[in-house]
Amino acid sequence: MSDQRIFTRYKANEIRSELQIVDVKKIKSGVAKKKNALRKIIANLTLGNYSEMLLLLPEILKFWKIEDDMEVKRICHEYIRTIGSIKPRSTVESLPFILNDLRSRNEKVQIMALETLVSIPFSKFSEEAFDFIIHLTNKKTVPEQLMKNAIYSLVQLDDYDHERVMSLLNLLYDIVNHQIEKPTIQIAALNALCMIHDVDGNSQPVHISVETAFNILELLPTLNEWDSATLLEILPITVVPQTHDNAYDMIDMVLPHLQHVNSAVSLSALKMVLYLLNYIEEVNQTIIKRLSNSVIALLEKPAELQFLVLRNVILLLLSRDQSLLKFDVPYFFIEYNDPIYIKDTKLECLYLLSNEGTLPQILDELEEHATDIDIQMSRKAVRAIGNLAVKLGESSAGKCVDILLHLLEFGVDYVIQEIISVFRNILRKYPKDFKNDVKTLVKYVDYAQDTESRNAMIWIITHYSDILPDYLTLFETFCTNVLNESPEVQFSVLTSSIKFFVRYPSIETEKLCICLLRECTEDANNPDLRSRAFMYWRLLSLAREDGSNVTNEILKDIVDGELPKIELNTKLDPIVLEELELNVGSITSIYLKPTSQIFRMSSLKSLPNSPVLNSDKSLLNVIDDLRSIGISNSNDRLNGKNHNSNKNNNPVVHTMSDFDKPAEKVNHLKGSRKSSISSPSKLARKPSMLMRKLTLKKKF
Of the ranges 236-244, 331-339, 389-397, 629-637, which one interacts with another protein (CB under 8 A)? Answer: 331-339
Could you tell me if 329 and 353 are in contact, meaning their C-beta atoms sit under 8 angstroms apart? yes
- As to burial, measured by CB atoms within 10 angstroms (0-12 exposed, 13-18 middle, 19+ buried), residue 580 is buried
User: Going residue by residue from 107 to 136, which x/- string records binding to another protein, judged by CB under 8 A?
Assistant: xx---x--x---x-x---------------
Choose, by CB under 8 A, the member of 24, 25, 48, 527 that binds another protein.
48
Judged by CB, which is closer to another protein: 276, or 558?
276
Rule CB under 8 A: say whether 21 interacts with another protein.
no
Shortest Å distance, C-beta 302 to another protein: 5
Phi-psi region of 592 (alpha: psi -120 to 50; beta: other; left: phi over 0): left
Choose, by CB under 8 A, the member of 116, 126, 246, 268 that binds another protein.
268
Report DSSP state, residue 642.
H
Judged by CB, which is closer to another protein: 408, or 533?
408
Q: Considering CB under 8 A, how many residues would be counted as binding another protein?
A: 117
Shortest Å distance, C-beta 601 to another protein: 12
Q: Which of residues 673-692 bind another protein (CB under 8 A)?
A: 673
Rule CB under 8 A: say whether 61 interacts with another protein.
no
Judged by CB, which is closer to another protein: 266, or 681?
266
Cα–Cα distance for residue pair 42/480, rounded to 1 Å: 67
Choose, by CB under 8 A, the member of 355, 376, 526, 632 that binds another protein.
376
Rule CB under 8 A: say whether 586 interacts with another protein.
yes
Judged by CB, which is closer to another protein: 195, or 691?
195
- Three-class SS of residue 183? helix
Rg (CA), the chain: 34
Choose, by CB under 8 A, the member of 374, 466, 523, 528 that binds another protein.
374
Q: Please name the amino acid found at residue 445.
A: V
Choose, by CB under 8 A, the member of 89, 163, 181, 261 that binds another protein.
261
Of the ranges 163-171, 330-338, 439-447, 682-690, which one interacts with another protein (CB under 8 A)? Answer: 330-338
Choose, by CB under 8 A, the member of 16, 54, 74, 630 that binds another protein.
74
Buried/exposed 490-523: b ≥16 CB within 10 Å, e otherwise: bbbbbbbbbbbbbeeeeeebeebbeebbebbbee
Tell how far CA 68 is from the center of its chain: 48
Choose, by CB under 8 A, the member of 86, 515, 535, 656 that binds another protein.
86
Residue 429: closest CA among 452, 454, 398: 398
Choose, by CB under 8 A, the member of 12, 19, 41, 75 that binds another protein.
75
- Three-class SS of residue 699? coil
- As to burial, measured by CB atoms within 10 angstroms (0-12 exposed, 13-18 middle, 19+ buried), residue 538 is exposed
Of the ranges 8-16, 140-148, 501-509, 644-652, which one interacts with another protein (CB under 8 A)? Answer: 140-148
Q: Which of residues 394-433 bind another protein (CB under 8 A)?
A: 412
Q: Which of residues 343-362 bind another protein (CB under 8 A)?
A: 344
User: Going residue by residue from 499 to 528, which x/- string records binding to another protein, judged by CB under 8 A?
Assistant: ------------------------------
Shortest Å distance, C-beta 569 to another protein: 24
Choose, by CB under 8 A, the member of 26, 140, 600, 697 that binds another protein.
26
Rule CB under 8 A: say whether 368 interacts with another protein.
yes
Q: Would strands 621-623 and 282-284 be described as parallel, antiparallel, or unpaired?
A: parallel
Cα–Cα distance for residue pair 249/227, rounded to 1 Å: 21
Could you tell me if 198 and 190 are in contact, meaning their C-beta atoms sit under 8 angstroms apart? no
Please name every residue paired with 284 in a beta bridge, in sequence order, or none if there are none: 623
Choose, by CB under 8 A, the member of 89, 139, 600, 670 that binds another protein.
670
CB-based contacts of 512, cutoff 8 Å, min separation 6: 472, 475, 476, 479, 497, 500, 501
Tell how far CA 107 is from the center of its chain: 41
Shortest Å distance, C-beta 699 to another protein: 19
Sign of the Cα torsion 424, 429, 431, 435 reads negative
Residue 593: closest CA among 670, 648, 647, 652: 670
Shortest Å distance, C-beta 360 to another protein: 12
Q: Which H/E stretch holds residue 282?
A: strand 282-284
Tell how far CA 473 is from the center of its chain: 47
Rule CB under 8 A: say whether 287 interacts with another protein.
no
Shortest Å distance, C-beta 353 to another protein: 14
Q: Which H/E stretch holds residue 352?
A: helix 340-353
Cα–Cα distance for residue pair 580/576, rounded to 1 Å: 6
CB atoms within 10 A of CB 141: 6
CA distances, 331 to each of 212, 299, 358, 667 (Å): 40, 8, 13, 20
Choose, by CB under 8 A, the member of 25, 139, 141, 302 that binds another protein.
302
Residue 10: closest CA among 74, 57, 56: 56
Shortest Å distance, C-beta 403 to another protein: 14
Q: Which of residues 601-640 bind another protein (CB under 8 A)?
A: 605
Judged by CB, which is closer to another protein: 169, or 192?
192
Rule CB under 8 A: say whether 531 interacts with another protein.
no
Judged by CB, which is closer to another protein: 96, or 671?
671
Choose, by CB under 8 A, the member of 34, 197, 429, 463 that binds another protein.
34
Q: Please name the amino acid found at residue 45.
A: L
Shortest Å distance, C-beta 246 to another protein: 19
Residue 611: closest CA among 245, 307, 199: 245
Of the ranges 28-36, 387-395, 488-496, 635-643, which one interacts with another protein (CB under 8 A)? Answer: 28-36
Rule CB under 8 A: say whether 444 interacts with another protein.
no
- Three-class SS of residue 141? coil
Judged by CB, which is closer to another protein: 85, or 167?
85
Of the ranges 426-434, 505-513, 648-656, 671-679, which one interacts with another protein (CB under 8 A)? Answer: 671-679
